[in-house]
């Protein structure tokens, strides 16, 4: 009986299994236990790597890479809004949503890789500062959740069948959540800059 | 709802994740709003919209 339910609701059960693991890890305070052991890695990143050296020594290079990071994040946000507002039926209504979601997903992958690579450089220069910022960890968590949401939940469902065959409220729910996740990534990023 | 729009496994997983993530993020932002209002109240004694200590 369990194998029947498992084979029928594999994805849903996996979601609740992951949620259960997260809750158990939080109750056992695993995150709080790991946090102090990350400080040496951040100090190493700033003080003992070429990235940290360049980031703390050459302001022009740091500014250039940070500009590239902002452009990558801006592209990411633009692609997310294009896809999700089309899924909500707000814009590009004359173009099939399958065409837009498939087209933007390819560019999304490139923009995400660019944002992560330039982001590592940006962190390296101020690693010992951002380590103590809760908002930095909010951004990292939102980024991980956003990427996992796109690659493991949203895109597999959108690619599985024509969008007209998917319940429209599920598509709308996914689009609103996606916008909120990436808004959190953007807002937390700017909050790091403000701090 | 027509038969071909019935909610399958992937749909159920997608809406579950959406609700959980949306709820978590709303909780985060509401908590941020409350702590910001608390800080403003602590700093100025009262919270006014467009609170500016230089304008009486």
pLDDT of B39 reads 84
Give the per-residue pLDDT at A29: 92
If one compares B55 and A189, the residue with the highest pLDDT of the two is: A189
A149 with B21: Cβ contact below 8 A: yes
pLDDT value at residue B18: 94
Distance from CA of B24 to the nearest CA of A (A): 10
The model's pTM: 0.86
Any idea where the domains of chain A sit in the sequence?
Answer: 1-33, 40-192
How far apart (Å, rounded) are the C-alpha atoms in residues B34 and A125? 32
Which residue out of B3, B5, B7, B11 would a mutagenesis test of the A interface target, given it has the greatest number of A Cβ atoms within 10 Å?
B11
Q: What is the pLDDT of residues A34-68, one digit of tens each?
A: 999 999 999 999 998 999 999 889 889 999 999 99
Which residue on chain A is closest to B15 by alpha carbon? Answer: A170
Q: What is the pLDDT of residue B2?
A: 47
Smallest CA–CA distance, residue A59 to chain B, in Å, is: 32
As a whole number, the mean pLDDT across chain A is: 92
- What's the ipTM? 0.85
Per-residue pLDDT of A60-110, as tens digits, reads 999 999 999 999 999 999 999 999 999 999 999 999 999 999 999 999 999
Cβ-contact A82, A92 below 8 angstroms? yes
- The per-residue pLDDT of chain B, averaged, comes to 80
Q: How many C-beta atoms surround the C-beta of residue B31 within 10 A?
A: 10
Cβ contacts of A74 within 8 Å, gap of 6 or more: none
Contacts with A, B 1-56, CB within 8 Å: 1, 4-5, 7, 9-22, 25-26, 28-29
What's the pLDDT at A94? 93
Helix ranges, A9-126 (H): 10-27, 30-47, 50-57, 59-87, 97-125
pLDDT < 70 regions, chain B: 1-5, 48-56
């Amino acid at each position: 009986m369990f194998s029947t339910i498992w084979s029928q609701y594999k994805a849903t059960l996996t979601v609740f299994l992951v949620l259960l693991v997260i809750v158990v890890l939080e109750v056992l305070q695993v995150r709080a236990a790991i946090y102090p052991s990350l400080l040496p890695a951040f100090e190493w990143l700033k003080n003992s790597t070429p990235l940290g050296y360049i980031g703390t020594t050459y302001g022009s290079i740091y500014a250039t890479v940070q500009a590239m990071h902002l452009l990558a994040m801006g592209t990411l946000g633009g692609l997310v809004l294009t896809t999700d507002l089309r899924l909500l039926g707000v814009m590009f209504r004359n173009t099939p949503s399958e065409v837009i979601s498939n087209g933007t997903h390819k560019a999304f992958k490139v923009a995400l890789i660019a944002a992560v690579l330039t982001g590592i450089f940006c962190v390296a220069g101020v690693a010992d500062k951002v380590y103590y910022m809760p908002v930095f960890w909010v951004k990292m968590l939102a980024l991980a959740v956003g990427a996992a949401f796109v690659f493991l939940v949203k895109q597999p469902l959108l690619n599985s069948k024509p969008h007209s065959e998917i319940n429209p409220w599920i598509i709308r729910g996914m689009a609103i959540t996606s916008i909120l996740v990436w808004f959190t990534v953007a807002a937390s990023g700017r909050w790091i800059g403000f701090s | 709802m027509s038969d071909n729009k019935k909610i399958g496994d992937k749909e159920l997983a997608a809406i579950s994740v959406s609700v959980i993530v949306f709820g978590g993020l709303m909780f985060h932002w509401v908590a941020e709003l409350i702590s910001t209002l608390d800080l403003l109240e602590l700093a100025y004694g009262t919270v006014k919209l467009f609170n500016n200590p230089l304008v009486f």
